[in-house]
Each structure stands twice: as C-alpha cells, then as structure tokens.
Amino acid sequence: MGVVVAVDAEAAAAEGAVDNPIDHAPPPQVGIGFRPPLGPWILSNPSEVEFVEVTAEHFFEEGDDTLQRLAALYPISVHGLGLSLGTPGPLCTTTLDAFSRVASLCKAAWVSEHIAFTQSAEVDLGHLNPVPLTRDSLNVFINHAMEVQEHCGKPLILENITTYLRVPGDIPETDFLNELCHQAGVGLLLDVTNLFINSKNHNFDPIHWLRRLDPAFIRQMHIVGYSQANGQYHDGHCEMVQDDLLDLASFVVSYSNVESIILERDANFPKTELIAKELQLLEGICVTARSH
C-alpha cells in the first residue's frame, strides 16, 4: 500500500554502492522559533542563530515591521497552526490569505503546517488533533497541501504531531507520510521530540520508524525538551533538550539532507545565554553527524 521506501543509508554507504549526496551537503542551519520574550535577543543577530521560524498566526494582526527586520537578518520559515489541513472541505480562504501574506512579507524560504486538524465543521477545537490514517484522510491532505503550496507560491513542509490517542486507521504512519509527500509534492518538517514522545507513549522504536521514511522528504527539524508526568511523556515546549533527543536528531542529520533545525521553546524561558549554549550544542551535533 502506498509508497514504501526501505531506507538503510548506512548499509549502502558501507557497500560503497552509492555516492551519498549527504556527504557533500553542509550541516543544517541551526535556528529558533521567534517568540516575543526572545525577540530583542533574536533581533540583536546573535551568532548562534542562523535561521528563524515565525508562527504565522502571531503576525496576522500586527508585527509587519518585526517580520521585515527578521527577514533582513535571517532566512525565515513560516509555521502555521490553524489552517487545519485535515478537516474535509474547503480551506478557510481568510486564514489562507493571512498566512500567505506573512510568508510573502518575510520572504519565507518555505512554509509549514501540521498533519492534524484543529477545526471540525462547526467548532474551532483550539489544538492539534490526529487524523485517522486512511485513504480518505490522505486525499484530504494531498488536496489541501497542494492548495496551500500553490496559494503561497512557496514550498510546503508538513509536521508530525504528538498523539495521545491512537486513532484507528489502515495505513502505517510512515507510508502515509511518504505517500503524502510524494503525491502532493511537499516535504516533511520532522519534529524529533514529537517522534520520540510518540515512541515512548506508544512503545515503538523511533529509529525503525525513521528507516521506513524516505529521508529525501525531510527538509526541517523541530526539537525541544520533553517533560514526563503520570507515566506519560509530554511536549510542553518548556524544557532544555535532553540527550536522547540529541541522539535522535543526530541520526536524522546523518541519514537525510535536512536543511534546518529549529529549537522550539514556548515557555519557561531561561536566560538567553543558556538558549545560545543549547543552539551551540545543536550545531555541534549537526556538524559531527554530517561529517561521519
């Protein structure tokens, strides 16, 4: 079913069977998600920040000047929260226009959204929800992804979310992602924290999961520390990055041509010196992973 790509870059490299383009690619650019408490520091152009991701909805009503200042300093990606690509039916044209305007204003290198829905036909649920992994869902995403990409005139990448519920479906998640990217002509925003959390809460091997994913689709990563409570892992976006996440990110850099890794801190902000150190740590693992 679908496009299943068996991946074993290490084995291929060991056999000398292919000239791996990753060997010649520069390490991914390390960056951060723009948040108002970090704004003055990011706008001071610290050397640790090479790339910035902005959240589209934060700039729907105001902030054009900030967007333009950021665009003069960094390559930018625009991340959406509310297009609700998994909701059947037409996309909200008002939201899509606002999203596209932000992307244009900051000359975004690419735009991104989630593989999720946030709205039912009548209700804005206000958070990201998983879709059933079925042919019908896949077709909804393919059509919506193509529409967003065409409307914005920018490459679109789609992000895996955390799921606390296992929604019934009949397509393995990695097949779903491979086929979505292949059919819609889009890429992946691989959130390694979300993958790690799902692997813990649903008891699977994240490396095995990654080996079933076509690495050619991975363009950007998200990473932020997880938290644990009541026997589950959570993505509160308020912790320093842990070592097991760095290991997973390192694997992704070593087997894919990922171009950017974004630290996605939303709360409990430490001093910017600590954020800078965390970015230096990410740069270190990217350089090391890409050089081996």
Nearer to Fe ion, 175 or 191 (CB): 191
CB of 159 to Fe ion, least distance (A): 6
Picking from 81, 190, 89, 212, the residue whose alpha carbon sits closest to that of residue 139 is 89
Nearer to Fe ion, 222 or 290 (CB): 222
CB of 158 to Fe ion, least distance (A): 11
CA distance 276 to 50: 11
Nearest-CB residue for Fe ion: 222
Phi, psi dihedral angles at 76 (to 5 degrees): -125, 145
CB of 276 to Fe ion, least distance (A): 21
Q: What is the 3-state secondary structure (H, E, C) of 33-48?
A: ECCHHHHHHHHCCCCC
CA distance 143 to 278: 38
Picking from 142, 64, 136, 144, the residue whose alpha carbon sits closest to that of residue 107 is 64
Q: What element of type H or E holds 148?
A: helix 135-152
Give per-residue burial for 83-94: e unless 16+ CB within 10 Å, then b: bbbbbeeebeee
Give per-residue burial for 128-145: e unless 16+ CB within 10 Å, then b: bbbbebeeebbebbbbbb
CB of 205 to Fe ion, least distance (A): 21
Nearer to Fe ion, 247 or 266 (CB): 266
CB of 55 to Fe ion, least distance (A): 11
CB of 111 to Fe ion, least distance (A): 14
Nearer to Fe ion, 211 or 222 (CB): 222
CA distance 24 to 274: 31
CA distance 199 to 248: 12
Nearer to Fe ion, 48 or 191 (CB): 191
CB of 224 to Fe ion, least distance (A): 7
Nearer to Fe ion, 191 or 214 (CB): 191
Point out which residues bind Fe ion (CB under 5 A). 191, 222
CA distance 238 to 268: 5
Nearer to Fe ion, 79 or 211 (CB): 79
User: Residue 158 in contact with residue 138, Cβ under 8 Å?
Assistant: no
CB of 264 to Fe ion, least distance (A): 5
Nearer to Fe ion, 79 or 144 (CB): 79
User: Residue 262 in contact with residue 31, Cβ under 8 Å?
Assistant: yes
